[in-house]
Structure 1
Amino acid sequence: MVTASDMHSLAQLRSGQLADTTRLKLSENLDEFPAEIYSLTDTLEVLDLSGNRLRDLPDDLHRFSKLKILFASDNQFEHLPEGLGRCVSLTMVGFKHNRIRTISPTCLPPNIRWLILTDNCIEQLPDNFGERRQLEKLMLAGNRLTELPRSINQLDKLGLLRISANQLQQFPDQLLDLPKLAWLAFAGNPFCPAHEAHNDIITISHEQLTVGEVLGRGASGLISKAHWSAAADTAPAGTAQEFAIKVFHGGITSDGYPQDELDACLSIAPHPNLVTALAQVHNPNGLLMKLIPDDYRNLGQPPSLDSCTRDTFSLQQSCSRELADGLIQQMTSLVEHLEAARLCHGDLYAHNTLINNDGHLLFGDFGAASRYHNLNTEQQAGIRRIERRALEYFVEDVESLIRK
């Protein structure tokens, strides 16, 4: 991704400092597409116009013949620009957090692989949406969709789909036969079950904790060290007094509503390979969890722009046959545990998996999790097939690391 350190300016463009550049990031409170960008029609591959006040893009974007990636999040678009549909090299488009209501039948790039429309106002997708057969990753959480077009069953390369936090009245059955769909999030829709009270989980106030150093930042919240002085009196016997706390923010994430993540975390029983919640935290809402020891590390890295839906691994990574078998066995046991609880994790990836030097696996991050016990038998079986496909990909990735 383009980062803040890659920021450019119109002044640099005008002076010729950016001649022949392949990547451009502009955030200068722009309300129209700067003509100066046309000086890069022959070289530009990545364009990031996020954080401006743009409402439209020119119809002749196809002049940027090498443009592969376009970000325009945090603007004021009310429709997806028509000019995108003629950009044959464009494979990744991101218009997160705009005001988009409409998507025309002709505005989608013909070879798009990755489409991000999180947190908009989209009520309907065009009937021909499924004609974009190269689509692999589709982010639609936080819109106003009431149904998905029937043609979506043509997306035979779609691997990851986020439709959480919409207005879907029924589970979209056309998803169940997609041959590569493996990572699905659908919580926060009218057809989903109501949240449970979780009265069996201890509830404490944030004021009872002393919060320390930040351990990580996720899409839904901040994870920090925390000291709970009352743990000896309140927590299960043998529980340490130092923990990790995840405090949820209130906005919609790429996976959906944080409150659905909280509900999922509290709905699953403990498992030896699961990062399990010990207590609910109120004011602000959060989860208290065991502090993961320092010797645990991520098994993989997130997908790249090229790999799209599949995890990446360093060239130095390797493991023995024995370690691989152990990791696969542990993850399979965990998936069976989730199936018994009728909970779809939705993000079963090596980059969400922690392992230590003894080969013990820990798994968490329920941001994309969805409960499905209220659905019919066929739908439940289909969701389990989707999650098992993610497990198959996990197995492929682990086995690819075995030392030859």
Structure 2
Amino acid sequence: MHTLDQLRRGDLAGITRLDLSANLTELPEEVFALADSLEVLNLSGNQLTRLPADLSRLHKLRILFCSNNPFTEVPDVLGDCPQLEMVGFKSCRIEQVPAASLPQRLRWLILTDNRVQHLPDELGNCSRLQKLMLAGNQLTALPHRLADCQNLELLRMAANRFEALPEWLLELPRLSWLAFAGNPCVDSRETAALGTAIARAEITLGEVLGQGASGIIHAAGWRGSDQPMAAKLFKGQMTSDGLPHSEMAACLQAGEHGNLIRVAGSLETQPGDPPGLLLERIDASYQTLAGPPSLSSCTRDCYAEDQRFTVANALRIAHGAAAAIGHLHGRGILHGDIYAHNLLVDPHGHCLLGDFGAASFFDPHSQLGQRLQRIEARAFGNLLEELLQRCAPDDRPQAQGMLRQLQAQCTGDVVAQRLVFSEINDALAAIR
């Protein structure tokens, strides 16, 4: 984090990223001295309600974070910024999103945890839009012209007021990751899945094993059980993907499968307690397959530069992931976040699919359900592509050819022509 003193002394000349949290009520004029270099401006955690009308003087600005500020509307001035492509206003007090506030080059818009009731039709003009984060608002509909955003790949619309999903949404050619839990259209199924919680008195928490955007994982003991356990304690009442109780309901509904982390149950919640889940503890030999998307990669995971797979391992990872997804679909759960960074893999290629934060309930036998499964097929196809990119060309070329053909069948632009997971699993089983 940078300081106002550094900025005013000129110590930050030439920097490309500025992180400034100093209880600001207005943007310091000295920021404009960085106009010829500044690309990322993080103003999260201040007291801002407006931005200067001449913000476009920051002519290289690509990314703007203004989360945790008391803005009530997205500032119009953003629409004048020529290079701005990522905008974040998470956990503000946003009620209005003026059409003029939408930058022409917008790729990634974050409005999570606000009070938005309506989005402008002009959002459909943002042809480069790939990622749209809307969880935790008061929306009852999406602008129909969002159908023009043919590059949209990830949409979070959980914890709003949707009575149904718009049909046109499920025809978007690149949509791969969708979350819609915590809406009236699925609330009753979530409530039924939660069941009886485990008393906190039966659980002892140990060291922190890790953490993600939504929660912290602790080692845990469970009275009467010798099995090592882990407890996930959620950080707040709203995540980037949706509500903790929606995630817990999906985890419990998922049941048991060899490629899923076993869930013992949700934890009883007392006043002041964070929501939590009790899970089996995973052996330390399992490691996350990749890192999450970066600011530049937007929707695609980040792998270690030297990361490589044998075709045998890639095939086993793909088998495991597809088997888990097919199992979930059979139980009426759309995972919503099929990514390498949500796969834990051991040295032999056995994988476990985790993180149900974006999971949503659906009817797998309905026409709508069939289309939702084919949207998830595209996410799997993207994963398959990433695995194949990291295999040596001379390693089982025939098998790689069959995997590439399968990948193409999962990612075609016409949603109805993609495979469902029973077909994907049959195709994987046929590859030798």
Q: Scaled by the length of structure 2, what TM-score is found?
A: 0.87
Of 172, 183, 193, which aligns to 1:189? 183
Partner of 1:78: 72
State how far apart, in whole Å, the 1-side matches of 2:81 and 2:382 are: 31
2:312 pairs with 1:318? no
- Could you list the structure 1 runs, at least 4 aligned residues long, displaced by more than 6 angstroms after superposition: none
Of 77, 83, 90, which aligns to 1:96? 90
Q: Which moved more, 1:211-220 or 1:122-131?
A: 211-220
Partner of 2:163: 169
Contact 1:345 1:368 in 2 (8 A): yes
Shift of residue 286 of structure 1? 2.1
Residues 362-373 of structure 1: matches in 2 within 5 Å? Answer: 362-373=352-363
Q: Which moved more, 1:385-394 or 1:18-27?
A: 18-27
Percent of aligned pairs with the same amino acid: 45
Q: Summarize the Cα distance change of 1:142–1:193 in structure 2 as closer, same or farther, 3 Å threshold.
A: closer
Q: String of CA shifts for 1:106-127, please: whole Å, max 9, x gaps.
A: 2111001111111111100001
Give the SS at the match of 1:294.
coil
Q: Summarize the Cα distance change of 1:334–1:241 in structure 2 as closer, same or farther, 3 Å threshold.
A: closer
Contact 1:152 1:174 in 2 (8 A): no
Q: String of CA shifts for 1:148-191, please: whole Å, max 9, x gaps.
A: 01001111111111000111122122211111110100001111
Contact 2:82 2:103 in 1 (8 A): yes
Partner of 1:258: 244
Of 362, 365, 368, which aligns to 1:379? 368
Partner of 1:355: 345
State how far apart, in whole Å, the 1-side matches of 2:365 and 2:27 are: 49
Partner of 1:60: 54
Q: String of CA shifts for 1:93-150, please: whole Å, max 9, x gaps.
A: 1111111111111211100111111111110000121110101111110111110010
Of 391, 406, 419, which aligns to 1:402? 391
Shift of residue 229 of structure 1? 2.9
Partner of 1:236: none
Q: Which moved more, 1:348-357 or 1:32-41?
A: 32-41
Residues 148-159 of structure 1: matches in 2 within 5 Å? Answer: 148-159=142-153
Gap runs ≥5 in structure 1: 1-6, 232-239
Q: Which amino acid aligns with 1:95?
A: F
Matched residue pairs, number?
388
Of 255, 272, 279, which aligns to 2:258? 272
Give the SS at the match of 1:128.
helix
Contact 1:246 1:286 in 2 (8 A): yes
State how far apart, in whole Å, the 2-side matches of 1:143 and 1:279 are: 28
Q: Which amino acid aligns with 1:282?
A: E
Q: String of CA shifts for 1:252-275, please: whole Å, max 9, x gaps.
A: 110011000001011112110001
Q: Which amino acid aligns with 1:69?
A: I
Partner of 2:215: 221
Q: Which moved more, 1:259-268 or 1:37-46?
A: 37-46
Shift of residue 403 of structure 1? 2.5
Contact 1:117 1:141 in 2 (8 A): yes
Q: Which amino acid aligns with 1:383?
A: L
Shift of residue 250 of structure 1? 4.2
Q: Which moved more, 1:15-24 or 1:155-164?
A: 15-24
Of 271, 286, 300, which aligns to 2:290? 300
Q: Scaled by the length of structure 1, what TM-score is found?
A: 0.93
Shift of residue 249 of structure 1? 4.2
Q: Summarize the Cα distance change of 1:221–1:68 in structure 2 as closer, same or farther, 3 Å threshold.
A: same
2:379 pairs with 1:390? yes
Q: Summarize the Cα distance change of 1:131–1:282 in structure 2 as closer, same or farther, 3 Å threshold.
A: same
Of 338, 341, 344, which aligns to 2:334? 344
Residues 13-162 of structure 1: matches in 2 within 5 Å? Answer: 13-162=7-156
Contact 1:202 1:278 in 2 (8 A): no
Q: String of CA shifts for 1:280-338, please: whole Å, max 9, x gaps.
A: 32134422111100101111111111110011111211111111111111111112111
Determine which structure has the larger helix proportion and give its number: 2
Contact 2:320 2:352 in 1 (8 A): no
Contact 2:193 2:250 in 1 (8 A): no
State how far apart, in whole Å, the 2-side matches of 1:342 and 1:358 are: 30
Q: Which moved more, 1:342-351 or 1:284-293?
A: 284-293
2:321 pairs with 1:335? no
State how far apart, in whole Å, the 2-side matches of 1:20 and 1:242 are: 51
Q: Summarize the Cα distance change of 1:351–1:46 in structure 2 as closer, same or farther, 3 Å threshold.
A: same
State how far apart, in whole Å, the 2-side matches of 1:71 and 1:257 are: 22
Aligned-residue CA RMSD (Å)? 1.6
Shift of residue 362 of structure 1? 0.8
Q: Which amino acid aligns with 2:386?
A: D
State how far apart, in whole Å, the 1-side matches of 2:197 and 2:99 are: 49
State how far apart, in whole Å, the 2-side matches of 1:365 and 1:229 are: 25
Contact 1:249 1:258 in 2 (8 A): no
State how far apart, in whole Å, the 2-side matches of 1:249 and 1:15 are: 37
State how far apart, in whole Å, the 2-side matches of 1:157 and 1:52 are: 33
